[in-house]
Amino acid sequence: FGDAHAPGHVGNPADLDDLQVTSVTASDHVQVNKPFTVNYTVTNTGPGATPPNQSTWDTYVYLSEDTLFDPSRDRFIGTFSHAGALAPGASFTKSATFTAPSDMVGTFYVLVKTDPESFTAPVGKVLETNEKNNIGLSAAMIIDQPPPSDLQVANIQFVPTAGKVGDTISVTYTVTNVS
């Protein structure tokens, strides 16, 4: 067998690894400029292990208005590197916290793409049996503005309680945001 399209890989292309994002979870509701957590799992579902010379790759995280990956429209929010081979059936899980962008309000999905293609690696850094199944997505997440302020003034006190025009008085009060 030849190089199976990858430098350093020897063997049958059908025996390659297959990296898949098998789980993505995120907060279901978050306010702009507030933190939210994303958890994702990448599993090697292929019959072969990732080769030692292909055991480092990146995973990108995006916010998308729909369930379709479109790097020209989806908002890139983070990248993570993975180092280490994955045996068949093995997986790793990552948890990360992001801040909801202030200019995105509505329903969004967190899309996670492992081993993405790039200018220098047009099929990603890891040669796989299936290069088209490297994306996972979360359930819908709502990003919205915080509720408007509802300020209420209470405990108003005047000292002295009586006076005449031109007298100095002291006023104390408490303001509470009840929203």
Q: 13: which DSSP letter?
A: G
Rounded to an integer, what distance in angstroms lies between the CA atom of residue 60 and that of residue 78?
Answer: 6
CA 129 to chain centre: 26
Distance CA 12, CA 86 (A): 18
pLDDT score for 91: 97
Q: What is the pLDDT of residue 14?
A: 65
Residue-by-residue pLDDT tens, the chain, 179 positions: 333 444 444 456 668 999 999 999 999 999 999 999 999 999 999 999 999 999 999 999 999 999 999 999 999 999 999 999 999 999 999 999 999 999 999 999 999 999 999 888 899 999 999 999 999 999 999 999 988 888 899 999 988 888 888 888 899 999 998 87
Q: Are 60 and 125 in contact (CB under 8 A)?
A: no
Is the whole-model pTM more than 0.75?
Answer: yes
Q: Can you give the pLDDT at residue 9?
A: 45
Spatial distance between the Cα atoms of 80 and 122, rounded to a whole number of angstroms? 19
Q: Name the region of 11 (left: φ>0; alpha: ψ -120 to 50; beta: rest).
A: left
Angstrom distance (rounded) from CA 31 to CA 171: 36
